[in-house]
Chains A and B, each alone.
Chain A
Amino acid sequence: MKIDPVKIHQRYLQKQKQERIKVRSVQLLLLVGFIVLWEIASVQKWIDPLIFSQPTKIWALLLTNIADGNLFPHMTTTLSETVVGFVLGTVFGTLLASIIWWSPFLDKVLEPYLVVLNSMPKVALGPLLIVGLGPGFFSVTAMALAVTVIITTITIYTSFKEVDPNYIKVIQTFGGNKKQIYQKVILPASFPTIVSTLKVNVGLSWVGVIVGEYLVAAQGLGYLIIYGFQVFNFTLVLMSLVIIACLAALMYQVVFYIEKMLIKNRG
């Protein structure tokens, strides 16, 4: 029998495509099935409609809120707090890791503090931050920063230390100094780790912001959730949750895109 590589390749691609379609349709089916089941269960009173609301009500509330422009300020507030907290957490974490890498003495001194800070629940700092920075944007952003910065520092510093010493040797044999070792080897070699911390930080900064808003905010999606809870409007709570899920997914996609850009040339 004759073998035609082109044909085999085409068949392979076709198979891959079929597989993709299969996965996507099952995913869609799950989502639709879940929403439909939710709706029916709520209408039929299998679940308590007061607590679990129902998709059509949530959708209707979403539309009215968008129409009267109520929702938009809440969304932008929360989103900007999250993005700023996320960026600051990553930048400060990387900076701190760099400083510790630079000074082995500082590394030894700070080690127990980092361990304690890392295991401490950062949201417990909430009241302090609020009093210190005043209720509002700054304290909520600071909360996101507090949640992300220590774990970022530890992860990135670990990756700094794990860079193969022979790469450093290459730079040293050319007479390179510490700054050059950092610039040419340590930092670029750690890009993949930095990007993967970005992914973790997306989730963590949302935790910080939502908890921060629970505590103080007069605006934002976290505030909407608490408000809905207080007035026992769970349709509002669930609507906010859906929006948060969508925004977080969007942010994750952006990070994913950045990752592709940054490390496209690595084998």
Chain B
Amino acid sequence: MSAHAFIEMRDLTHVYVSKAEANEAISHIDLSIAQGEFLSLVGPSGCGKTTILSCLAGIIRPTQGMIRINGETLRGPSSKVGYMLQSDYLFEWKSIIENVCIGLEIMGKRTKENENYAQFLLHEMGLSRYKNHYPSQLSGGMRQRAALVRTLVTNPDILLLDEPFSALDYQTKLRLEDLVFDTLKKHEKTAILVTHDIGEAIAMSDRIIILKRNPGQIKKEVVIAEELRRKLPFQAREAEGFHELFRQMWKELEEDED
């Protein structure tokens, strides 16, 4: 469907093995994502959303199938992919600037230039004043913004967002949605968002994939209308067609609940 597949998942299948059982978390997922696209994955818990992200991040090796990024087969963590977790997971013993630079440090890319870029991003997120503070001194929203900077500073082309707003209060969440949306569009990133929040998925995405569970498979694909896509998430929530789509998806997901 997309003109040029930037990310390509073919027959992606993963089985978790434990003492009790072998559980097929995702099964034969085929999915292509275009460069610069914002894609959301929604579905009931246990539908393998996080497993897909972990495969894309190169942290787990799929049991079967493959992922290609820009034509190259993925074989482990790639510097092209950045991962943002549910909670910020900033290191309490490091200052904000040290936290933000941890990725650069691990990749051996902590140069003066990149550090300046980190400063720039902190400034962009309104955090310059806090760069020498410690995470415990910051609010939840500020911490999540710092985590975003940590992910962006290594300059990945693809961002994996694993419910990054779920631990925040509603107001902060709405504001951060706009900020993240704006930042990603500005830096021309491709993004894959995992969320439980239907509204969030509609407001932020270009396309939504609805998954079903046991095993995780693609159930339906929803392409968001052009007018909604262009708007910032906050405005999109107010826009015509939003509620209609929300109801549709709500129904779609309800069928999967027990």
By a beta-carbon cutoff of 8 Å, the part of chain A in contact with chain B is 164, 166-167, 169-176, 180, 184-185, 188-189, 191, 263, 265-267
Contact = CB atoms under 8 A, between A and B. Distances in A.
A175 B91 contact: no
A184 to B, nearest CB: 7
Contacts of A176: 106
A170 B137 contact: no
Given A175-B78, A267-B134, A167 B91 contact: yes
B77 interface: yes
Q: Give 3 closest A-B pairs by Cβ, nearest first.
A: A267-B136, A173-B83, A175-B77
A267 B89 contact: no
B92 A166 contact: no
Nearest to B160: A173
Nearest to B133: A265
Nearest to A192: B93
Contacts of B95: 265
Contacts of B105: 184
A166 B85 contact: yes
B249 to A, nearest CB: 29
Contacts of A185: 91
Residue from the set A170, A172, A180, A191 with the largest chain B CB neighbour count within 10 Å: A170
B59 A173 contact: yes
Contacts, number: 65
A166 B57 contact: no
A154 B103 CA distance: 31
Contact of B87 (A166, A171, A191): A166
Given A188-B91, A266-B93, A171 B136 contact: no
B85 A184 contact: no
Given A166-B85, A173-B59, A189-B91, 12 more contacts: A164-B89, A169-B59, A171-B102, A172-B77, A173-B81, A176-B106, A180-B106, A184-B91, A265-B93, A265-B95, A267-B92, A267-B135
Majority-rule SS of A interface residues: helix
Contacts of B102: 170-171, 174, 184
A265 B137 CA distance: 10
Among B58, B79, B81, B102, max chain A CB count under 10 A is at: B102
B77 A174 contact: yes
Contact of B89 (A170, A191, A266): A170
Contacts of A173: 57, 59, 77, 81-83
Contacts of B82: 173
Contacts of B87: 166
A180 B57 CA distance: 18
Contacts of A167: 89, 91
B76 interface: yes
Given A166-B89, A265-B93, A171 B134 contact: no
Contacts of B3: none
A58 B79 CA distance: 71
A188 B93 CA distance: 8
A30 B87 CA distance: 51
A266 B106 contact: no
Contact of A191 (B59, B83, B85, B93): B93
A170 B85 contact: yes
Contact of B106 (A174, A191, A265): A174
A171 to B, nearest CB: 6
Nearest to A171: B106
Nearest to A180: B106
A169 B154 CA distance: 16
A180 to B, nearest CB: 6
Nearest to A177: B106
Contacts of A169: 59, 83, 85, 89
Contacts of B20: none
A188 B92 CA distance: 10
A174 B89 contact: no
A45 B209 CA distance: 90
B107 interface: yes
A171 B85 CA distance: 12
A267 B82 CA distance: 27
Interface in B103-136: 103, 105-107, 134-136
